[in-house]
Structure 1
Amino acid sequence: MDLDLAGRTAFVSGSTQGIGLAIARRLADAGARVAVNGRTAERAEEALAALTEGGLSREQLIAAPGDVTADEGLEAALAAAGDVDVLVNNLGIFGAAAALEISDAEWQRYWDVNVLASVRLIRATLPRMKEAGWGRVLNIASDSAIVTPAEMIHYGVSKTALLAVSRGFAKDAAGTGVTVNSVIAGPTYTEGVQDFVYQLVDPALPWEEAEAEFMRLHRPQSLLERLIRPEEIANMVVYLSSPLASATTGGALRVDGGYTDAILP
């Protein structure tokens, strides 16, 4: 399969670690110039160093630091990236909290980071894509968008909203050659998720046992019975970013290890 993205520029929000960094690596492997985004220049440069140590050319990579939840940071990050052909809204926060103890301020923070930042980045990049007649917008959602977790309903609600954001903007881009989709990521291993797992299981357990205990007790629907690896999410993102996915838009595609017990999302 030819996933050639040569000549395209991709912007991946929150891409200095975890799933975002894996997505940046795979997009660059497919030939794209990739703008790596983090809150600070130091974090972005550290991510670029990790990518070049992994064999990527520095010429393929752009440091695009900036807090995309704020106007100034968003503008600075996109200015560094230049014209964006592929937008991947990966930035997100999560964490366990008792449902009745989530404050208004925390609900608002999850909305601002997990939903509104994506909307603002789409508004900033979609017009040029439509004018050019080609573009890709990918929003990284979660199984929690469909199966709301009792231990973090504010996160689940924000990811449900992101599915609607994707469908709505896909309609706005209808007939232009631009596709807009969501990727529903299942329980995935990252450093942040490791910390989250230890919030829910015995922190004295070795990691392999903690992962198995977490999946058994808290994610028993998973057909993989293990955490997904970031590269497995990235593979779907790169396909959807490629010319081969030209007829896939307005969709919510699952990379969830069979976690969601449904034929369709």
Structure 2
Amino acid sequence: MNIDLTGRKAIVTGSTAGIGRATAEGLARAGASVVINGRSAERVNAVVQEMQLAFPGRDISGVVADLTTAEGAEALFAQAPDADILVNNVGNAYMRDYQGIEDIARIPDEDWLSLFQLNVMSGVRASRHYLPRMVARGWGRVVFVSSESAVNIPKELLDYGVTKTAQLAVSRGLAEAVAGSGVTVNAVLPGPTRSEALGSLMAQQAEAQGTTQEEAEQAFLKALRPTSLIQRFATPDEIANMIVYVSSDQASATTGAALRVDGGVVRYVA
């Protein structure tokens, strides 16, 4: 399969590292011009320079914007007013060791609200801006980077799981709203991935325990995701491969879907 995105402009939110960075590189490799986004000018500029060297001739630019706020979203729209492909990737989780209801009951309102603003409203605002322009042209791709935690709610990450479920609802609803327009809206559900955040946590645990990162990852899977069929963490590139595909012409009949790239963690057939 030859995916050719030449002439398409893609915006990938939260793309200075991890799945977002891998997705930006995958889209550029397929020929798209890419807008990098992050909150730090230093990191955004560094990634833009690295990608310009890696993909000479590609239009690689960057926008510094904090998408947890409406003002940050407007800053993105002002500098990148249009796109053919929107990947709503930016997100976060508060890593905790919460187990019982007493622990979960102590999650403060501030954590719930800040995660909702970043994980859900960033994608709502971006889609609200870019989708009508895609519909007017008769072509566009919107991809939400959700998580297997959206359907396999983790008690230790309850607030995170709720926001990821909300992303599925938003994605499906938007797909329904643009039916027949030539625009598709999908969600991708990664499983445990060696991303910047989770990968760094595993590296820290490995150092503290005097083990390797791979051993720390295996302990994580055994304790929290024993149903993994690949029995390892995915790489950001493996997740990006699915995102690049659903951003392409070849995926024109795929819309309104929740596409699992979870390594088989979720035990159901669908």
| TM-score of Structure 1 vs Structure 2, range by shorter chain | over 0.9
The equivalent of 1:21 in structure 2 is 21
Which among 169, 177, 194 is matched to residue 182 of structure 2?
177
Moved more, 114-123 or 93-102: 93-102
The equivalent of 1:67 in structure 2 is 66
CA distance in 2, matches of 1:40, 1:50: 16
CA distance in 2, matches of 1:90, 1:68: 11
CA distance in 2, matches of 1:240, 1:21: 17
- TM, length-normalised to structure 1: 0.94
Three-state SS of the structure 2 residue aligned to 1:257 is coil
The correspondence of residues 142-157 of structure 1 with structure 2, limited to 5 A, is 142-157=147-162
- 1:47 equivalent to 2:47? Answer yes
The equivalent of 2:237 in structure 1 is 231
Distance change >3 Å, CA 202–CA 65, structure 1 → 2: closer
CA distance in 1, matches of 2:138, 2:72: 27
Do the aligned partners of 1:181 and 1:253 also contact (CA within 8 Å) in 2?
yes
The equivalent of 1:31 in structure 2 is 31
Unaligned stretches of 5+ residues in structure 1: none
Do the aligned partners of 1:200 and 1:214 also contact (CA within 8 Å) in 2?
no
- TM, length-normalised to structure 2: 0.93
Render the CA deviation track for 1:181-203: whole Å, top value 9, x for unaligned.
00011110023103444687883
The equivalent of 1:128 in structure 2 is 133
1:240 deviation in Å? 0.3
Give the length in aligned residue pairs.
263
Which among 185, 191, 195 is matched to residue 186 of structure 1?
191
Do the aligned partners of 1:186 and 1:256 also contact (CA within 8 Å) in 2?
yes
The equivalent of 2:101 in structure 1 is none
Distance change >3 Å, CA 45–CA 135, structure 1 → 2: same
The equivalent of 1:161 in structure 2 is 166
- 1:102 equivalent to 2:107? Answer yes
Q: CA RMSD in A?
A: 1.6
Do the aligned partners of 2:206 and 2:212 also contact (CA within 8 Å) in 1?
no
Unaligned stretches of 5+ residues in structure 2: 99-103
- Identity fraction in percent: 47
The equivalent of 2:5 in structure 1 is 5
- 1:112 equivalent to 2:156? Answer no
1:105 deviation in Å? 1.1
1:150 deviation in Å? 1.5
Do the aligned partners of 1:202 and 1:210 also contact (CA within 8 Å) in 2?
no
Render the CA deviation track for 1:197-227: whole Å, top value 9, x for unaligned.
4687883222121111111122111001100
Do the aligned partners of 1:36 and 1:63 also contact (CA within 8 Å) in 2?
yes
Do the aligned partners of 2:5 and 2:32 also contact (CA within 8 Å) in 1?
yes
Render the CA deviation track for 1:33-83: whole Å, top value 9, x for unaligned.
000000132221111123234x21264201111112223322222332342
CA distance in 2, matches of 1:58, 1:20: 21
Which among 213, 219, 223 is matched to residue 213 of structure 1?
219
Three-state SS of the structure 2 residue aligned to 1:37 is strand
